[in-house]
């Protein structure tokens, strides 16, 4: 009676990892479904638009020429996942990976709960019996349901590359957007084949992430672990099963607590026995831990399978060190990348300008109005208005102190308008009416800075670019004057 009481107490208020994961999956799915629809000033949280050559990041729009942010985003993603793996093993696989979420939707929700093709979530080893005609019909219904969801999932993924406001307009006109339609259909059909036929084999044999994870683990990495010290060694050192029944186990180890009920094996979606030790196929879903908690809980004991570290469970060498140097290194690196991204993002240029000098170094002529000799340099300016409204632009020339105010803009003679997101090519001529240098041996290259700005926002929409102004050597200057 006293054991029953403690067992009741033990399981009172307990919530399975499976149900916790379901809530997490719902929250994650809702987040990713809603995110592409949220815009601030027409900008998305994340959008990599190849047709418009734009990157939206945290509701700020960047031009493709500002793609230097992309490597930092990829570093953030990869280092984040690696750090997560060092800390929590395959936590990404069990809690975040779309493959796992989709399999739960297809196997547990559609096949088991909705259609009853599978009998119990707790037994994933019994495959549906398709010799029954009713099951064959249900299978078709299951595949059709999943096909519809695959199209929604693929569309959701594509919305991070083609925003919803364009996506549906493009789909309304499919013949003009065959590439988009093709990617949508092929990816959705691949998802159907993957979730219905490849199943968890994807995690074990195809996914490259599962291959590299084991090299990231250390003894403090938290993962799904069976405790052989309490439960007994079901497998020997060569990973061969050495006991098949409770009596065999007790012959080997009288104090072994495992009941040999096999609940942890029958529930496993990847068809493995966690008592064999850490395995590549384990996706850290913790369903075996739930199963064992229910079995051992009824006996008033904690689960033999825990989400813990080898240090704590296998080596019994103290508590898991969560904030070990390796983890601090990952956190510091991630913070540094976030700061760099923030700084680079905040330095986003509100207009873009490329300057190329024309092949001809300079030309010399006489100003008809003033009759002064002019040395002219020509440039090609490629200017882009990255704002959402029209702006008029013009330039200033910033020359070294000795030439200050002596190099000026000749063409264009007045500010010009550029529409939003439009690139404008301008031939720009700078000139000087002064004899800047009297150098006999060679042309003089004067470093200058071009300051381009929007007339109505001179202090904010402004960029500066380095360039040069070439002044001819003195004999050529005189020759030009004579002509
Ligand atoms: S052994 Fe199986 S049930 Fe247990 S966490 Fe790994 S994949 Fe899930
Ligand atoms: S569920 Fe627990 S008690 Fe049952 S076989 Fe697995 S480890 Fe042993």
- Angle in degrees, CA 60, 63, 64, rounded to 5: 130
* Residues in contact with 311: Cβ distance below 8 Å, sequence separation at least 6, in sequence order: 219, 220, 317, 318, 320, 321
**Mutation to probe ligand 2, out of 304, 305, 313 (largest number of atoms < 8 A from CB):** 304
Q: Are residues 308 and 367 in the same domain?
A: no
The answer to whether 390 and 417 have CB atoms below 8 angstroms apart is yes
Give the CATH number of the domain where residue 457 resides.
2.60.40.10
Kindly state if the Cβ of 292 falls inside 6 Å of ligand 1.
no
* 45 assigned to some structural domain: no
Give the pLDDT confidence score for residue 344 in this predicted structure. Answer: 78
- For ligand 1, the distance from its centroid to the CA atom of residue 116, given in whole angstroms, is 23
Note the ligand closest to the C-alpha atom of 292.
2
- For ligand 2, the distance from its centroid to the CA atom of residue 222, given in whole angstroms, is 20
The yes-or-no verdict on residue 2 having pLDDT over 50 is no
**Mean pLDDT across 215-229:** 92
Q: Are residues 106 and 142 in the same domain?
A: yes
Give the pLDDT confidence score for residue 345 in this predicted structure. Answer: 72
Kindly state if the Cβ of 184 falls inside 6 Å of ligand 2.
no
Q: Are residues 287 and 271 in the same domain?
A: yes
How does pLDDT run across 293-329, given as a tens digit for each residue? 999 998 989 999 999 999 999 999 889 999 999 999 9
* 134 assigned to some structural domain: yes
- For the chain, what is the radius of gyration of the CA atoms? 34
* 376 assigned to some structural domain: yes
Kindly state if the Cβ of 261 falls inside 6 Å of ligand 2.
yes
Task: Please give the residue that has the higher pLDDT: either 144 or 43.
Answer: 144
Q: Which atom of ligand 1 is nearest to the CA of 267?
A: 3
- For ligand 2, the distance from its centroid to the CA atom of residue 304, given in whole angstroms, is 7
How does pLDDT run across 265-296, given as a tens digit for each residue? 999 999 999 999 988 889 999 999 999 999 99
Q: Are residues 90 and 139 in the same domain?
A: yes
Q: Are residues 321 and 365 in the same domain?
A: no
What tokens were used for 472?
């001819």
**Mutation to probe ligand 2, out of 124, 234, 291 (largest number of atoms < 8 A from CB):** 291
Task: Please give the residue that has the higher pLDDT: either 68 or 271.
Answer: 271
Kindly state if the Cβ of 263 falls inside 6 Å of ligand 2.
yes
* 404 assigned to some structural domain: yes
Q: Are residues 264 and 205 in the same domain?
A: yes
Give the pLDDT confidence score for residue 1 in this predicted structure. Answer: 42
Q: Are residues 216 and 126 in the same domain?
A: yes
- For ligand 2, the distance from its centroid to the CA atom of residue 127, given in whole angstroms, is 22
**Mean pLDDT across 410-423:** 88
* 47 assigned to some structural domain: no
Task: Please give the residue that has the higher pLDDT: either 149 or 350.
Answer: 149
Number of domains in the chain: 2
Q: Which atom of ligand 1 is nearest to the CA of 273?
A: 1
Kindly state if the Cβ of 283 falls inside 6 Å of ligand 1.
yes
The region that residue 89 occupies, defined by phi over 0 for left and psi between -120 and 50 for alpha, beta otherwise, is: left
Containing domain of residue 380, as a range? 351-482
What tokens were used for 310?
């080898």
348, 381, 415 - which closes a domain: 348
- For ligand 1, the distance from its centroid to the CA atom of residue 224, given in whole angstroms, is 7
Q: Are residues 223 and 312 in the same domain?
A: yes
Residue % of the chain over a pLDDT of 70:
96
- For ligand 1, the distance from its centroid to the CA atom of residue 283, given in whole angstroms, is 6
* 197 assigned to some structural domain: yes
Lowest-confidence segment of 51-65, 66-80, 169-183 by average pLDDT:
51-65
Q: Are residues 173 and 288 in the same domain?
A: yes
Lowest-confidence segment of 76-80, 393-397, 423-427, 477-481 by average pLDDT:
477-481
- For ligand 1, the distance from its centroid to the CA atom of residue 284, given in whole angstroms, is 5
What tokens were used for 371?
């009759």
Q: Are residues 342 and 373 in the same domain?
A: no
What tokens were used for 166?
């364009």
Whole-structure pTM value: 0.75
* 380 assigned to some structural domain: yes
Token look-up 């831990």 returns: 289
Kindly state if the Cβ of 224 falls inside 6 Å of ligand 1.
yes
Give the pLDDT confidence score for residue 54 in this predicted structure. Answer: 81
Which of the 8 DSSP states describes residue 401? G
Give the pLDDT confidence score for residue 366 in this predicted structure. Answer: 86
Give the pLDDT confidence score for residue 274 in this predicted structure. Answer: 95
- For ligand 2, the distance from its centroid to the CA atom of residue 228, given in whole angstroms, is 11
348, 370, 394 - which closes a domain: 348
Q: Are residues 464 and 323 in the same domain?
A: no
Q: Hey, is 360 helix, strand or coil? A: coil
* 62 assigned to some structural domain: no
| Atom 8 of ligand 1, residue of closest alpha carbon | 285
Determine the Cα–Cα distance for residues 241 and 234; give it in Å rounded to an integer.
Answer: 6
300, 327, 348 - which closes a domain: 348
Q: Are residues 192 and 302 in the same domain?
A: yes
The answer to whether 301 and 291 have CB atoms below 8 angstroms apart is no
């Amino acid at each position: 009676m006293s054991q029953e009481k403690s067992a009741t107490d033990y399981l009172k208020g307990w919530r399975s990892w499976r149900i916790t994961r379901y809530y997490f999956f719902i929250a994650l799915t809702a987040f990713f479904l809603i995110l592409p629809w949220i815009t601030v000033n027409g900008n998305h949280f994340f959008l990599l638009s190849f047709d418009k050559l734009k990157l939206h990041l945290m509701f700020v729009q960047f031009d493709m020429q500002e793609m230097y942010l992309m490597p930092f985003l990829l570093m953030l993603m990869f280092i984040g996942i690696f750090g997560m793996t060092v800390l929590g093993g395959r936590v990404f696989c069990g809690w975040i990976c779309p493959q796992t979420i989709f399999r739960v939707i297809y196997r547990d929700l559609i096949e088991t709960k909705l259609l009853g093709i599978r009998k119990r979530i707790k037994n994933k080893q019994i495959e549906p019996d398709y010799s029954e005609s009713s099951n064959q019909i249900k299978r078709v219904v299951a595949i059709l349901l999943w096909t519809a969801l695959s199209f929604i999932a693929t569309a959701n993924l594509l919305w991070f590359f083609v925003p919803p406001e364009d996506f549906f307009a493009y789909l309304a006109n499919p013949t003009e957007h065959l590439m988009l339609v093709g990617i949508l259909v092929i990816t959705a059909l691949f998802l159907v084949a993957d979730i219905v036929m490849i199943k968890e084999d994807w995690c074990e044999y195809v996914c490259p992430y599962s291959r590299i994870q084991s090299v990231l683990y250390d003894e403090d990495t938290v993962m799904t672990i069976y405790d052989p010290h309490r439960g007994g060694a079901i497998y020997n050192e060569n990973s061969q099963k050495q006991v098949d029944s409770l009596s065999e186990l007790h012959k080997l180890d009288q104090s072994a607590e495992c009941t040999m009920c096999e609940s942890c094996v029958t529930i496993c979606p990847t068809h493995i026995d966690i008592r064999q030790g850490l395995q590549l196929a384990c996706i850290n879903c913790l369903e075996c831990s739930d199963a064992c908690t229910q079995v051992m809980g009824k006996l008033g004991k904690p689960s033999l399978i825990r989400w813990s570290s080898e240090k704590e469970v296998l080596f019994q060498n103290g508590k898991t060190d969560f904030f070990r140097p390796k983890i601090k290194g990952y956190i510091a690196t991630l913070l540094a990348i976030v700061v760099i991204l923030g700084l680079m993002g905040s330095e986003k240029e509100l207009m873009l300008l490329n300057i190329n000098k024309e092949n001809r170094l300079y030309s010399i002529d006489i100003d008809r109005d003033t009759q002064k000799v002019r040395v002219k340099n020509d440039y090609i300016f490629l200017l882009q208005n990255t704002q959402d409204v029209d702006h008029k632009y013009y330039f200033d020339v910033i020359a070294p102190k000795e030439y200050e105010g002596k190099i000026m803009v000749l063409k264009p003679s007045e500010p010009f308008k550029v529409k939003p997101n439009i690139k404008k090519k301008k031939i720009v001529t700078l000139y000087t009416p002064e004899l800047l240098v009297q150098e006999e041996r060679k042309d003089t290259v004067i470093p200058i800075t071009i300051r381009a700005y929007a007339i109505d926002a001179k202090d904010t929409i402004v960029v500066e670019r380095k360039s040069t102004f070439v002044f001819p050597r003195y004999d050529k200057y005189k020759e030009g004057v004579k002509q």
